[in-house]
Structure 1
Amino acid sequence: LRKRWEQKLAPALKEQWEAVWRDAWVRLLLPSLETDVRVKLKQQADDTSIELFAQNLRQLLLQSPGGGRVVLGLDPAFRTGTKWAVIDGTGRLLVHGVIHPIPPKAKEDEAKQTLRKLIEDHGVEIVAVGNGTASREVHQFVRNWLKEAELAVQHLVVNESGASVYSASELARKEFPDLDLTRRSAISIARRYQDPLAEFVKIDPKSIGVGQYQHDVNQTRLKQSLDRTVESCVNFVGVDLNRASGPLLRYVSGITPTLAQRIVEHRDAQGPFATRQALLEVSGMGPKTFEQAAGFLRIPDSSEPLDASAVHPERYPLVQRIAADHEVSVSELLGNESVVARVDSAKYESDEAGAFTLQDILAELRKPGRDPRADHTTVEFDESVQELSDLKPGMQLNGIVTNVTHFGAFVDIGVHQDGLAHVSELSDRFVKDPLEAVALGQQVKAWVLEVDQERRRIALSLRSDPSTPKRPPSKSGKPKRGVQKNERPEQATQRGEKTEHSEQKQVGRSERFEQKFRSGKPRTSDKRAHPKSGKFTSEKRSDTPKATGDFQTDLATLMEKFNQN
């Protein structure tokens, strides 16, 4: 403003306009700019965090299912005892109760007798222990007793995030009206082993705990993002129509919560659905809704073989035509790799079924009804490591990733405190985004770098050899100095000499400039005449600061003079 307007103003008005400009900047413009910048930065931070939370939730929902096995779920606790519940292969509750295997009551013999009776009477195949309070103590008790009793029963620790929220929900009260909150939590833990997705959808996604500081971001956008993630996961995996609960069905494309409840009520009243077409009998299920939802609903025991696959009913005639052309029935075509491999997809392309649609259909025919989630595996923690004091730097332990953040990943290695693997320690290669190297629920081998007993912090590394130096990122994507690709060693030596020579020249220039600056002598380039005044810049002026010989002092003086001018 000074440069553009001050010269045109009358001398008497300059001071007044100066005050006006300063007041406008300090009182109005600067606070407004600060607010805009803060809002923009907050929005960028929210976007990044919400995206990370959604990715963590997706990995949590798509954890490997254990399948239809008889499971004993344990909800550990010290004072109130460990609540247990046994469910059958379909998730139906069989029996429930409480044991006290650890202090303060420590009724170990009674707990062992109860567990043995449950295993023998109900054929328990696996014991799932929640990872909350007293989890390590109860899991150690179960592990030692199973080894002592020589029973071929598997055991593992299950993520119980949000189990207490579910147990107090309206859905849990309707499902188990005669049970208290703690018994419902044990049932939820057991079901999470069978199918994590089917159990997690009963809980508000924000209550699962998918990341740090999730309550600091925009809650409306967070809920929208997490709901879209749940819906995407449910449709990606597919839903068993005759076993799915209302909360699970409502995430299927095209099905509203009201329609999901009507489907469950129709199934309870009329019995299991025989085919997908029977869905049209449900009140509110119109042709358009059926068109959206049918491809994501499965009926394993249907009289129509394709109802158990991801093939949409609209494509049944196409599959039947393929089977007829190869002289097999549809049921014989499903899973028959030799026949599917001979199918010429170009022959069946049309306006309604293009090349990509046919590729999806053929992939489904090869493995009909295949669960896209990975096979379930369990992690075995080191039995000699139970407390923080048992950890020593240099130990390598089995672990499981419990949380992923922008700065690294938290790993459970079998003690009460999760360790942190910094983003620089996640891989032997450079990692910009932790999700490039690890995923929630992933089993890893972690090296112990440091243990802080006072602050109860554990530093871990997932690199193959933490003692080797880390690789910094390459900005240009090209190799650093050395022998380049297709280059002889003597060429690299010559190139190195040239680089060293140029660096020496640059150092020489810097030294000469500093000597001239310290001496206060003008440079030769300063002796040129000014185009307008004709004066030389080297002429001494009374207001020109003199060099003192100290670089920092002279530089500060010049900057002050520059600001004044």
Structure 2
Amino acid sequence: MIKYITSRSEISEKSIQNTIELLNEDCTIPFIARYRKEKTGNLDEVEIGQIVQLKEQYETLEKRKTTILKALEEQEVLTNELKLKIENTESLTSLEDIYLPYKKKRKTKAETARKNGLEPLAKMIMSQRVNDLEFTASKYTSNAIETIENALEGARHIIAEWINERSDIRNNIRYQLERFAIISTKIIKSKKDEDGAQKFKDYFSWEENLSRIPSHRLLAILRAEKEGFIRIKIEIDNDRVLQKIEDRIIRSHNESAQQIELAISDSYKRLLFPALTNETMSIAKEKADENAIKVFAKNLQQLLLGSPLGEKRILAIDPGFRTGCKIVCLNKQGDLLHNETIFPHAPQNKATEAIKKISTLVDAYKIEAIAIGNGTASRESEQLIKRIHFKNNIEVFVVSEAGASIYSASKIARDEFPNYDVTVRGAISIGRRLADPLAELVKIDAKSIGVGQYQHDVDQSKLNKSLDTIVQHCVNKVGVNINTASASLLSYVSGIGSKLAENIVNYRNENGAFSNRTAIKKVPRLGGKAFEQSAGFLRIKNGDNVLDDSAVHPEQYSLVKKIAKDSGNNITELIGNTSALKQIKLQQYVTDSFGLPTLQDIIKELEKPGLDPRKKAKAFSFNEHIKTINDLKTGQILPGIVNNITNFGCFVDIGIKESGLVHVSNLSNTFVQDINEHVNLQQHVQVKVLEVDIQRKRIQLSMNF
């Protein structure tokens, strides 16, 4: 395993070995990256994740080898040479090629020919030394094989299968497909005018090299095919491929060579090309999935680490027209204090009454900020709020509603607010997203948050695994207040999981807030390993020990105590004391357990304990004159917020229902290799309107002006 991983990464053998030992001890990636830097050689989460992935690949390969070896033993065909070949194989594709000739087959033409006794004839033809082929073939006629041509055809079927099973031939065709395959599409004429066809208009007739097709385009084409609008075709130079196979096999110009030529053509068209084309498309889809998942993961990370407003008293509005605007008032901890519905917009138009109500609520609950959902009637609600003259300076934020309806109808929401309907829960979620996006968004299935590309078309198990890793990374990067966190948030803390998260919340409800980290051990079923993995990521505000509100792990407390004592301070005096911390000579505290990386982390944490790595939320205003796509005109310069990033550009919310696309070519006046180096999710930007297609509801924007 170590050798396998080392050959596929740039990580040292010792780091890999130590990391695998930690993983086998049930240590999590965030814990290893943060608290075991000496063991891993200071690997980060991405590098540790790569080791985990390669470890899983190796284990899958070894499992398949065991299965194949067992099958070959049962068939009594396993030789020492074959066993060695299988054991030394380092790819699943090569392994399956080795196994292919021995694989139990369903009824095939070759199998039928063998049963009819034609294998000796096939071997003679392949030897290419038969002088009178017609006479030789006549010896193999029977009741089942009535004619000489039937005998030759059966022999060709056996030869075709042998050719299909040759790994050198398969690898050559794989190479041709990988390098030169052309993917083309054609519209199914009867489907051209059906609903939904227009969104795939670009692919009604398309042709491109498969190796160069961007992931988003391949996924779009595959979706169009799945929905029945187009047909996909894969092509390579068949004559060239057939010639290469003939050059490998045919060594004469006699009648046998002609039969082999026919068998090659049959094998290629009937067996090799269909199977290897499917394999190539599967690999291309896998790569496209990986690319799309990476995009989604990057976006999700930026969204989860979005700027929190922090502990503020918030009035949140879930806007609407006919059904009114649902209003909730939340305290600093996000608890619901009040809810009601106002009807300021059409058809009721009770704007004056709504203004009075909002003003009263802001005063009554000492509201510090207002959050407005960005869905239907959002702009109208924002304009309404701006008409109100508040006594204090109230910041107004427009908050993404993506996934709020999923949350409000979920079991988590019902458990949190069993006495309120979905509209109240949705408004609460909007308000809490402003206070702390991470704490609220972890309650929602990541695929429903609305960032990424083609998330429903990619491998769902890989997507879920990747997104879970990202959520876990974000939660542990920020840290979690154990006395206020929901079970959803706690479940992503290193070493916790959903069951222990529920136990923590139940224990907290029954026994009150935790006063120190040691008390966490009293939670039912939270053992030593779970405590070790989680403690450093759990925060206790205003607890018994000042270090409990930091990323300093309890196993490091005695070390911090010694450092403080040696510096002539107690721990409380040392925290935030930059001049004292700078004077500490870390080298004298290096041991086998704690090296310089850990000591540097401790000092950094003591400078600003429990510091939230996220930036603070800033208010934003859209152009008040732009309310629908019909208000847009080419050349307008508008403020916007980046709300999605893909490989082909970024989407910008300009305050209307439809987001506009800034294509990668309009992002900068320089070459853009990585879009994420130019824009971030939730970034406030200025964009220029290039084109408006009202019929297709598409808006082209530019940031390069």
TM-score normalised to the size of structure 2?
0.64
- Rounded to whole Å, the distance in 2 between the matches of 1:89 and 1:4 is 76
- What amino acid does structure 1 have at the position aligned with 2:468? D
Q: Which residue of 1 aligns with 2:699?
A: 458
Alignment of 1:71 onto 2:314: yes
Superposed, which structure 2 residues align to 1:112-131 within 5 Å?
112-131=355-374
In 1, Cα distance between the equivalents of 2:316 and 2:398? 10
Distance 2:552 2:257 in 1: 80
C-alpha separation in 1, matches of 2:393 and 2:549? 33
- CA distance in structure 2 between the partners assigned to 1:151 and 1:70 by the alignment: 13
**2:402 aligns to what?**
161
* Alpha-carbon displacement from aligned partner over 1:272-314 (angstroms, at most 9, x marks no partner): 0010000111111111211110000000111111111110011
Encode CA deviations 1:194-214: one digit per residue, 9 max, x unaligned. 111000111111221222311
Q: Following TM superposition, by how much is the alpha carbon of 1:5 offset from its aligned partner in structure 2, in angstroms?
A: 5.1
Code of the aligned partner of 1:155: V
Structure 1 CA distance, aligned partners of 2:638 and 2:702? 10
Q: How does 1:162-311 map to 2 (within 5 A)?
A: 162-311=403-552
One-letter amino acid of the counterpart of residue 328, structure 2:
A
Q: CA deviation at 1:245?
A: 0.8
Shift in Å, 1:2: 4.2
Match of 1:107 in 2: 350
| Structure 1 residue 395, shift from structure 2 partner | 3.0
Cα distance, 1:15–1:229 mapped onto 2, change above 3 Å = same
Aligned to 1:406: 647
Whether contact under 8 Å (1:146, 1:153) holds in the other structure is no
Q: After the TM superposition, which residues 457-476 of structure 1 pair with which residues of structure 2 at under 5 Å, given as runs? A: 457-463=698-704, 466=705
For residue 688 of structure 2, give the secondary structure of its aligned residue in structure 1.
Answer: strand
C-alpha separation between the residues in 1 aligned to 2:249 and 2:429?
A: 73
User: Alpha carbons of 1:3 and 1:211: their partners in 2 closer, same or farther (altered >3 Å)?
Assistant: closer
Q: Where does 1:517-532 land on structure 2 (aligned, <5 Å)?
A: none
Amino acid aligned to 1:461: S
Decide whether the 8 Å contact of 2:246 with 2:264 is kept in 1.
Answer: no
Which residue type is aligned with residue 131 of structure 1? N
Identify the match of residue 273 of structure 2 among 30, 38, 43. 30
Which residue does 1:16 correspond to in 2? 259
**For residues 211 and 35 of structure 1, what CA distance do their matches in structure 2 show?**
27
> Could you say which residue in structure 1 is the equivalent of 2:383?
140
In structure 2, stretches of 5+ residues that fail to align are 1-244
Q: Secondary structure in 1 aligned to 2:542?
A: coil
Equivalent pairs, count = 461
Equivalent residue letter for 1:20: A
Distance 2:628 2:246 in 1: 69
Q: Does 1:81 align with 2:330?
A: no
Asked whether the equivalents of residues 653 and 660 of structure 2 are also in contact (C-alpha less than 8 Å), the reply is: yes
- The Cα offsets for residues 59-101 of structure 1, whole Å up to 9 and x where unpaired, read as 1100011111111111111221111111000111000011111
Residues 332-357 of structure 1, C-alpha deviations (whole Å, 9 max, x = no match): 11111111111111121111111111
CA contact (8 A) 2:634 2:692 kept: yes
Cα separation, 2, equivalents of 1:33 and 1:335: 63
Q: Which residue of 2 aligns with 1:95?
A: 338
In the aligned structure 2, how far is the partner of 1:430 from the partner of 1:153? 42
Letter of the 2:696 partner, please give it.
Answer: R
**What corresponds to 1:333 in structure 2?**
574
Q: Deviations over 1:509-563 (max 9, x none)?
A: xxxxxxxxxxxxxxxxxxxxxxxxxxxxxxxxxxxxxxxxxxxxxxxxxxxxxxx
- Which letter maps to 1:87? L
Q: Note the aligned Cα RMSD (angstroms).
A: 1.6
Contact 2:451 2:643 in 1 (8 A): no
Alignment partners' CA distance in 1, 2:636 and 2:246 = 67
Give the drift of 1:387: 3.2
CA contact (8 A) 1:240 1:300 kept: yes
Structure 1 residue 326: Cα displacement:
1.4
Q: Distance in 2 between matches of 1:384 and 1:301?
A: 48
Counterpart of 1:400 in 2: which secondary structure? strand
**2:284 corresponds to 1:41:** yes
Q: Distance in 2 between the 1:368 and 1:238 partners?
A: 11
Contact 2:374–2:399 at 8 Å: present in 1 too?
yes
For 1:388 and 1:207, the matched residues in 2 are separated by 25
- Secondary structure (helix, strand or coil) at the match of 1:449 reads strand
Identity %: 48
1:406–1:381 distance in 2 versus 1, CA, 3 Å? same
Query: Does residue 446 of the first structure (1) align with residue 659 of the second (2)?
Result: no
Q: Per-residue deviation at 1:241? A: 0.9
d(CA) in 2 for partners of 1:325, 1:151? 49
**How far has the Cα of 1:114 moved from its partner?**
1.2
Q: Are 1:136 and 1:416, in contact at CA under 8 Å, matched by a contact in 2?
A: no
Aligned residue type for 1:69: K
Asked if 1 retains the 8 angstrom alpha-carbon contact of 2:549 and 2:610, the reply is: yes
Secondary structure of the corresponding residue to residue 388 of structure 2? helix
Aligned in 2, Cα 1:14/1:81: closer, same or farther, shift over 3 Å? same
CA change 1:77–1:10 in 2 (3 A) is: same
Q: AA paired with 2:502?
A: Q
Change (3 A) 1:7 1:376: closer
Counterpart residue type for residue 373 of structure 1: R
Distance 1:365 1:452, change over 3 A: same
- Structure 1 residue 433: Cα displacement: 2.0
Partner AA of 2:311 in structure 1: G
Q: Tell me if structure 2 keeps the 8 A contact 1:246–1:260.
A: yes
Deviation at 1:390, TM superposition (A): 3.5
Cα distance, 1:173 vs structure 2: 1.1
Q: Secondary structure in 2 aligned to 1:155?
A: strand
Structure 2: how far apart are the matches of 1:17 and 1:273?
80
Q: Is the 8 A contact 1:46 1:218 kept in 2?
A: yes
Q: Tell me the residue number matched to 2:215.
A: none
Contact 2:359/2:388 (8 A) holds in 1: no
- Which of 619, 627, 632 lines up with 1:386 in the alignment? 627
Give the equivalent residue in structure 2 for 1:376: 617
Q: Deviations over 1:101-146 (max 9, x none)?
A: 1112111122112111101111111110111122122222222x22
Aligned-partner residue type, residue 388 of structure 2: L
Greater Rg by CA = 1
Which residue identity lines up with residue 300 of structure 1 in the other structure? K
Residues 1:326 and 1:6: Cα distance change in structure 2 (over 3 Å): closer
Counterpart AA for 2:363: E
CA distance in 1, matches of 2:509, 2:538: 17
> Normalized per residue, which structure has more helix?
2
Q: What is the Cα deviation at residue 9 of structure 1? A: 5.0
C-alpha change, 1:400 and 1:5, in structure 2 (3 Å) is closer
Shift of 1:7: 5.3
Distance 1:151 1:112 in 2: 16
Change (3 A) 1:87 1:150: closer
